[in-house]
Amino acid sequence: MMSPAMVGLSFIVLGLILLIGKLIRIKSKILQRLFIPSSLIGGFIALILGPDILGSLINLIGLEGTFLSNGLFPLEMLEVWVALPGLLINIIFATLFLGKRIPGLRDIWNIAGPQVAHGQTIAWGQYVFGIIITILVLTPFFSINPMAGALIEIGFEGGHGTAAGMGETFNKLGFPEGTDLALGLATIGILFGVIMGILFLNIAIKKGETSAITSKTEISSTEMAGIFELDNRVSAGKLTTRTESIEPLSLHLAYVGLAIGLGIIILQSLIFLEELTWGSATGLYLISFIPLFPFAMIGGIILEKLLDRFDVYRTLDRDLIVRIQGLSLDVLILSAVATLSLVAIGDNIFPFILLAIVGIFWNVVVLVYIAPLMIPSYWFERAIGDFGQSMGMTATGILLMKLADPDNKTPAMS
């Protein structure tokens, strides 16, 4: 069992690795140009120092049984890290709509109908082509579990969070390696999403396809390093309660916990309803395999509606919620990449490569050929955001949109 001391030490080490990742990013011009997040850099550092790389090298040179034979980190610490992504994804999804005004469906469609259609085309295409390649090639020739057909969408469109959140479902359904394959695809997605996104941006500028900029945007060295310049720093959030009453951050963490709690109640209610109806009668169970995080998102929407209706003091601040979300995402990516099983990927290396190629190819096709037909105005600025998001991270999509439209001259960001 994991001791409280080991859990605490695990977070301390994660913090140190994240700090090292940030320092490396500040010093590395290549990583800055690629806009690789510090959490991903730190994750690779921890992965290299873990059992699959450092530990394997130590054993390979005949030093089995030494203190480094399992890598630099104790197995108990790795057990803590393995559990974190599945927990943190619930926080990330619970915070998606907390503090946001949720417009009606009519408003959403009028403002962003083409964008919604474009984004859904990417997402469902990842399912369709993933399933096709699995049916025709991966399962017949490589004997991989047919559930691999969903891995492109889970890894690319979903990203590290969704991949980690689906881990328990993969385990229940007898496909435990699916988690590592999805996490690996999410990592590939982030890397290629940024690199190819910047490449397509430069091509679009040269071809005159961009409306907001006509030449490569100049970015200061401070911005490249990922630091806000001293004169341009903004507040991380507003204090909505007096600290002698309750610390505002504590209150917001409580709101997040309540949203997740509502999600648990909804999920367990549906599982109970399934047991009373078709589950006990047919033996077919579906809801029990659904992870918690989409219900945590629903819980967040319900809580936001309740607070909007009854919280006369407006104690929920969106910026503080975003900070909680960002912290959770950094720790999730770091711990997920750090505990990535290279053995699982190595055992399925050819299916992994084929899935990555198919996923990248489909995203490029949608960006280059389909987006101009689906989005009537400012197609590139809007499509490049979907391209980045559908390759593994919403943050990547936002980054690419900011590069394509730094002064928000187009409706892409909204």
Residue 27 is predicted with a pLDDT of 93
- Residue 410 in any domain: the answer is no
Residues 339 and 368 in one domain: yes
Residues 252 and 380 in one domain: yes
DSSP 217: P
DSSP 75-104: HHHHHHHHHHHHHHHHHHHHTSSTT-----
Distance (Å, whole) CA 26 – CA 248: 31
Residues 68 and 146 in one domain: no
Residue 14 is predicted with a pLDDT of 97
Distance (Å, whole) CA 385 – CA 226: 20
Residues 310 and 337 in one domain: yes
- Residue 60 in any domain: the answer is yes
Residues 42 and 129 in one domain: no
Q: What is the pLDDT along the chain (414 residues), one digit of tens a residue?
A: 668 899 999 999 999 999 999 999 999 999 888 888 899 999 999 999 999 999 999 988 888 878 788 899 999 999 999 999 989 989 999 999 999 887 778 877 877 888 889 999 999 999 999 999 999 999 999 999 999 999 999 999 988 888 988 998 999 999 999 999 999 999 999 889 988 998 998 899 888 888 877 655 566 788 778 888 888 888 999 999 999 999 999 999 999 999 999 999 999 999 999 999 988 888 888 898 899 999 999 999 999 999 999 999 999 999 999 999 999 989 998 999 999 899 899 999 999 999 999 999 999 999 999 999 999 889 999 999 999 999 977 778 887 888 888 777 888 877
Residue 217 is predicted with a pLDDT of 56
Residue where a domain terminates, one of 21, 53, 73: 73
Residue 125 is predicted with a pLDDT of 97
Token pair belonging to 248:
């505002």
Residue 216 is predicted with a pLDDT of 53
Give the 3-state secondary structure of residue 398. Answer: helix
Residue 397 is predicted with a pLDDT of 84
Residue 218 is predicted with a pLDDT of 65
Residue where a domain terminates, one of 73, 100, 118: 73
Residues 21 and 112 in one domain: no
Residue 215 is predicted with a pLDDT of 57
- Residue 116 in any domain: the answer is yes
Residues 28 and 159 in one domain: no
- Residue 251 in any domain: the answer is yes
* Count of domains observed in the chain: 2
Residue 247 is predicted with a pLDDT of 97
Q: How many helices (H) and strands (E) does the chain have?
A: 21, 0
Residues 252 and 355 in one domain: yes
Residues 172 and 271 in one domain: yes
DSSP 69: B
Residue where a domain terminates, one of 38, 73, 108: 73
- Residue 321 in any domain: the answer is yes
385 Cβ contact partners less than 8 Å away, ≥ 6 residues apart? 397, 398, 400, 401, 412, 413
201 Cβ contact partners less than 8 Å away, ≥ 6 residues apart? 210, 384, 400, 403, 404
Token pair belonging to 387:
């391209």
In one-letter notation, the amino acid at residue 172 is K
- Residue 409 in any domain: the answer is no
Residue 148 is predicted with a pLDDT of 97
- Residue 78 in any domain: the answer is no
Residues 251 and 303 in one domain: yes
- Residue 79 in any domain: the answer is no
Residues 55 and 135 in one domain: no
Distance (Å, whole) CA 99 – CA 316: 6
Residues 139 and 268 in one domain: yes
Residue 214 is predicted with a pLDDT of 63
Which residue segment(s) compose the domain that 283 sits in? 84-228+238-404
